[in-house]
Amino acid sequence: MLRRSLFLGAIATIAPACGDVASQRDVKCGAQPVEVLPNGSFDNPTPPWIQEPVTPALLCGTPRITPFNGAQAGCLGGTDGTTQTLSQTIPLPAGAKTIKLSGQICIATVDTLQFDVVDGATTVASLGKRTNQQGVANCVFTAFELSAPASSDPVMATLRIRSTLDANMPTSFYLDALSLTVGCTP
């Protein structure tokens, strides 16, 4: 059975200052969840999205696709037998309890897409699957929302979006208008 997977996760990056017991936080929790993802529409050069591999470019726009908003979108897949990653460092508030990713997605395939929150090789939460079993030849963006409890709250973490493709059939995943919010109440 062909499987296409997109792994999404917040990977802890430990970055406390030497001898600093309580590191400063760039964001703080309040009564409402706080947005922590800058450049969720992929259009600004800063902060940059880290692309692995760099070629082919994992940011694209017209004529390949028409992004949901702006000039660019995250464009993963299309080259089977490869793993592609888009990532961006994000600040987390002390006391983070929940993480929610929402945005627009287009899956140009008839296969399944798996979303997970991971800490290194450990799955923290399996958020679910998206499928395009109805199949469309052209990219049509639809809204999505995924959430999971946070298992820790490091000062900085990494949002990682990863497509892993088998070697048989091309599949493309397009993402735009992403929002990543963190809440401090369960």
Would you place residue 56 in the very low, low, confident or very high pLDDT band (cuts 50, 70, 90)?
A: confident
Per-residue exposure over 35-52, b if at least 16 CB sit within 10 Å of its own CB, e if not: ebbeebbbeeeeeebebe
**Dihedral over alpha carbons 111, 131, 141, 166 (to 10 degrees):** -30
Q: Is residue 113 pLDDT above 60, yes or no? A: no
Distance from C-alpha of 124 to C-alpha of 98, rounded to nearest angstrom: 12
Whether 180 and 90 have beta carbons less than 8 Å apart is answered as yes
Q: What is the pLDDT of residues 135-167, one digit of tens each?
A: 455 778 889 998 988 888 778 787 888 877 666
Would you place residue 35 in the very low, low, confident or very high pLDDT band (cuts 50, 70, 90)?
A: very high
pLDDT of residue 58: 92
Would you place residue 120 in the very low, low, confident or very high pLDDT band (cuts 50, 70, 90)?
A: low
Between 49 and 114, where is the model more confident?
49
CA distances from 97 to 28, 64, 69, 140 (A): 13, 38, 30, 33
Q: What is the pLDDT of residues 159-177, one digit of tens each?
A: 888 877 666 666 788 889 9
- % residues pLDDT > 90 (the chain): 24
- Please provide the CATH number assigned to the domain covering 5-12+31-183: 2.60.120.260
pLDDT of residue 10: 31
According to DSSP, residue 32 is labeled S
Q: What is the pLDDT of residues 91-103, one digit of tens each?
A: 889 988 888 999 9
Is the peptide bond between 63 and the residue preceding it cis, with omega within 30 degrees of 0?
yes
pLDDT of residue 5: 39
Whether 161 and 173 have beta carbons less than 8 Å apart is answered as no
Domain ranges of the chain: 5-12+31-183
Gyration radius (Cα) of the chain, Å: 17
